[in-house]
Amino acid sequence: MKKQLKNKKRYANGDVSFQGLITYTVKGIDFKEILNVNLINASIDYGKIRLDDGSTINSSNFHMDFNHTFQKYTFDKNGFLDIEDSSSRIGNYKVRIIEVNE
């Protein structure tokens, strides 16, 4: 994913961030917001995706950290990243991440 990003910011430790349109689907309801998306490439959290809190999509109501070991990552035909899982906190959920121009 990080190789395909057009507007990414690289950090000295190898992490990458970009602005993404997040569509978070829970119980059939879509929540949308543009958030900073962080791809963790350093430390023991390698491979984790972390979303910064927004006004609607935030850690008070949603999961904001994802790990390919626990969640299912797939790319759709347009190259958008979909993350799916289920939790006791919010039930089944799907997160779609689409890079946006800054």
Please give the span between the terminal C-alpha atoms of the chain, in angstroms, as a whole number. 18
Q: Cβ(39)–Cβ(65) under 8 Å?
A: no
In angstroms and rounded to an integer, the radius of gyration of the C-alpha atoms of the chain is 13
Whether residue 19 has pLDDT greater than 60:
yes
pLDDT band at 12 (very low <50, low <70, confident <90, very high): confident
Q: What percent of the chain has pLDDT over 70?
A: 95
Output the average pLDDT for the chain.
90
Whether residue 102 has pLDDT greater than 70:
no
Whether residue 2 has pLDDT greater than 50:
no
Whether residue 42 has pLDDT greater than 50:
yes
Whether residue 1 has pLDDT greater than 60:
no
Give me the domains of the chain, ranges plus CATH numbers: 2-99 (2.30.29)
How many whole angstroms separate alpha carbon 42 and alpha carbon 13?
6
Please give the pLDDT value at position 38: 94
| Strand, helix or coil for residue 2 | helix
Whether residue 74 has pLDDT greater than 50:
yes
Biggest alpha carbon distance in the chain? 40
Supply φ then ψ for residue 2, to 5 degrees: -65, -25
